[in-house]
Amino acid sequence: MCGIVGYIGDNSASPILIDGLKKLEYRGYDSAGIAVYGDDGVKICKTKGRIADLEGKLENEGKLEGCVGIGHTRWATHGAPDDINAHPHKGGNGRITLVHNGIIENYIELKIMLEQKGYVFVSQTDTEVLAHLFDFFYDGDSLKAMSKVMKMVRGSYATAVLIEDKPDEIIAARKDSPLIVGIGDNENFLASDIPAVLKYTRDCYLLDDNQIALLKKDSIKLYDIDLNEVHKDVYHVTWDVEAAEKGGYDHFMKKEIAEQPKTVRDTLSPRIKDGKVVIDELSLTDEQIKNIGTVHIVACGSAWHVGMAARYVIEKLAKTPCEVDLASEFRYRNPIVRPNDICIVISQSGETADTLAALREAKSKGARTISIVNVVASTIARESDDVIYTMAGPEIAVATTKAFSAQLNVAYLLAIRFAKAKGLIGENYEKTLCEEMLELPELIEKLLEMDDDLKALAKKYVNSEHVFFIGRGLDYAISLEGSLKLKEISYIHSEAYAAGELKHGTISLIEPGTPVFAVATQSDLLEKTLGNIKEVKARGAKVIALVGEKHSSVDEFADDVIRVPEISNILMPSLTVIPLQIFAYYMALGRGCDVDKPRNLAKSVTVE
């Protein structure tokens, strides 16, 4: 969701900005632009469409020469994705040039105020307000202007500003939207995310909310909103740039699906020692775990599906009541959270605005917060009491796959840890579960070998208009994920239903030939799900059954059967999700969709 880059140094800024924007493409965008400080002041080139369109425009209209610049990919919120609304925006007769990620909530009142002062708006964006407001406060002191702007706006922002009479600086700030400063040698960088600067530096400052960065080519100074200087630790990036590249695969999604054995292994192996779960990052004592009232799990999208699965597993093993909330609902429903409750926050990016707000809500009500996060040092990670990192490495495809798998496994670990603290599972059962979890990477490898079969299956159903998913218990959680994966990347309408719920309305949508995925891996619920399979079959559905390899009872009612290796019921989701991801991938490919960057979607959803 919107990407920001900035460069100040001795090299030509344009290629560095374009290169950085390409690294942020995964965040999702519909227009792009750059501004470069050259001999004639700050010049802008921007366009709707992809970065390739921006490159084409630069080619046609002339490159922007200069060694200082900012760039932006915009994911439209206020105003259509067109050339005018694309960033950068100018403020105050061109004195200010600014890019922004986030939403200015009080932009209408600020716009009226600025119009009364004579400022003329050309775009429909909330961002233009920031540009004019900055100009309004600017009297030669950029820090003072930025501080005043920050105190006046409500909402979320990461912003970077070029000023006509300050050719040797970029000033930037953040609140509720990520922004990092890359530390170079006689050159410095700015970006929404680390991959954009990794080619040039591994050392960064990760800005916190309400902080300002003043970049010159040979210095970086950080301030709080009251302009007190702030000294931060340098964050050294240890992962490689290749981790964020396709490595021979056609798509990031395919690469990330294939990386799941490694991801699961890397997530589990440091936390399973001699048949025991050891989560060093968890500061809760056994006594505190015993006293947990309710576990509140909050997340969005696929991470919420992990939460749905986690609830089944935590309640089954640890017998601790769990509530799973969509973060966007939790934050506004005034949830009842008691001081001995805990809140588990699940997020790949660690920057999702709703999830972050839900975390803050739970914290403000006295709950201890544990986050399951992939992006190291992201805001959610930094604000949680404990953070358990999923070891998925950078996930670039917009549709999550490997981070989902890693999150699931952290949920299993937590459930086992809680059950053990409460004396509800013995050493032997813990050991069995740990051994089985350590087998998961190998079993996932086996499932990846089904690639050709799943490709053929997708070919058979590629022209479907609707696809339904049904399942019970943990199978329902995975049905939700299978359905989301399919619809978000292939644009086929899809719904997931708890198998027993379908007949309460939605079954009226089942027509002869409608594909219904029946996820039926939970042995204790198999017979019940079989009943639901028969119900849809009787109405002409094409049933694709996803079952454990030893089960054959659904075969006679299924048009297609996908078999997954058998493992304890509670671990099954780690396996069942894999064929559903691969199926969705081939369906999207078969329909000519942009698999890695589905329309309208963003990787990191930093607005609510």
Single-letter amino acid code for the residue at 591:
R
The tokens describing 513, both together, are 């030939």
Task: Look up 603 and say whether it is catalytic.
Answer: yes
Q: Is 155 left (phi over 0), alpha (psi -120 to 50) or beta?
A: left
Lay out the site mask for ligand F6R across 446-485 (x = CB under 6 A, - = otherwise): --------------------------------------x-
Nearer to ligand F6R, 6 or 301 (CB): 301
Comparing CB distances to ligand F6R, the nearer of 484 and 530 is: 484
Taking residues 371 to 410 in sequence order and writing x for each that binds ligand F6R by CB under 6 A, - otherwise, the string is ----------------------------xx----------
Q: Is residue 176 close enough to count as binding ligand F6R by CB under 6 A?
A: no
Binding-site string for ligand F6R from residue 319 to residue 338, where x marks contact by CB under 6 A and - marks none: --------------------
Q: Say whether residue 581 binds ligand F6R (CB under 6 A).
A: no
Instruction: Decide if residue 150 touches ligand F6R (CB under 6 A).
Output: no
Give the number of other CB atoms < 10 A from CB of residue 52: 11
Least distance to ligand F6R, CB of residue 35, Å: 29
Query: Quick check: 605 binds ligand F6R (CB under 6 A)?
Result: yes
The residue (of 119 and 585) whose beta carbon lies closer to ligand F6R is: 585
Q: Which of 349, 371, 479, 490 binds ligand F6R (CB under 6 A)?
A: 349
Residue 47 touching ligand F6R (CB under 6 A):
no
The DSSP-derived string for 290-354 is: HT---EEEEE-HHHHHHHHHHHHHHHHHH---EEEEEHHHHTTS-----TT-EEEEEESSS--HH
Question: Which range, of 159-167, 240-248, 298-306, 428-436, touches ligand F6R by CB under 6 A?
Answer: 298-306
Q: Which two tokens stand for residue 32?
A: 């792009």
For residues 355 and 593, what is the distance between their CA atoms, to the nearest angstrom?
29
Q: How far apart are CA 189 and CA 223, in angstroms?
A: 17
Rg value, the chain, Cα: 25
What's the CA gap between 107 and 565, in Å, rounded? 55
Report the distance separating Cα 370 and Cα 374, nearest Å. 13
Total residues in contact with ligand F6R, by rule CB under 6 A: 15
CB of 192 to ligand F6R, least distance (A): 13
Look at residue 35 and give its three-state secondary structure: strand
127 binds ligand F6R, rule: CB under 6 A: no
- Shortest CB 415 distance to ligand F6R, Å: 20
Residue nearest ligand F6R by beta-carbon distance: 301
- Per CB under 6 A, the segment of 135-143, 212-220, 300-308, 430-438 that binds ligand F6R is 300-308
Q: Does 201 bind ligand F6R (CB under 6 A)?
A: no
**CB contact at 8 A, 269 and 406:** no
Give dist(CA 425, CA 580) in Å, integer.
32
Active-site residue, selected from the candidate residues 2, 45, 67, 343: 2
Binds ligand F6R (CB under 6 A): choice among 300, 310, 434, 587: 300
Residue from 97, 177, 294, 348 in contact with ligand F6R (CB under 6 A): 348
Q: Is 355 in the site for ligand F6R (CB under 6 A)?
A: yes
Give min distance, CB of 348 to ligand F6R, in A: 3
Answer for which of 488, 502, 578, 583 binds ligand F6R (CB under 6 A) is: 488
| Rounded Cα–Cα distance for residues 70 and 85 (Å) | 16
For the bound state, the minimum distance from the C-beta of residue 315 to ligand F6R, rounded and expressed in Å, comes to 22
Per-residue burial over 353-363, b = 16 or more CB atoms within 10 Å of its CB, e = otherwise: bbbbbbbebbb
Nearer to ligand F6R, 525 or 578 (CB): 578
Cis check: omega of the bond before 565, within 30 degrees of 0: no
Q: DSSP secondary-structure letter at 107?
A: H
Give the binding range for ligand F6R (CB under 6 A) out of 105-113, 248-256, 345-353, 422-430: 345-353
Q: Which of 159, 201, 302, 405 binds ligand F6R (CB under 6 A)?
A: 302
Could you say whether residue 347 binds ligand F6R (CB under 6 A)? Answer: yes
- Per-residue HEC secondary structure of 127-161 comes to HHHHHHHHHHHCCCCHHHHHHHHHHHCCECEEEEE
Q: Give, in order, the Cα–Cα distances in Å from 390 to each of 77, 406, 410, 478.
A: 30, 5, 7, 19
Q: Given 3-state DSSP classes, what are the helix, strand and coil percentages for the chain, each rounded to the nearest 5? A: 40, 25, 35
Residues involved in catalysis: 2, 603
Residue numbers at the binding site for ligand F6R (CB under 6 A): 300-303, 347-349, 352, 355, 399-400, 484, 488, 604-605
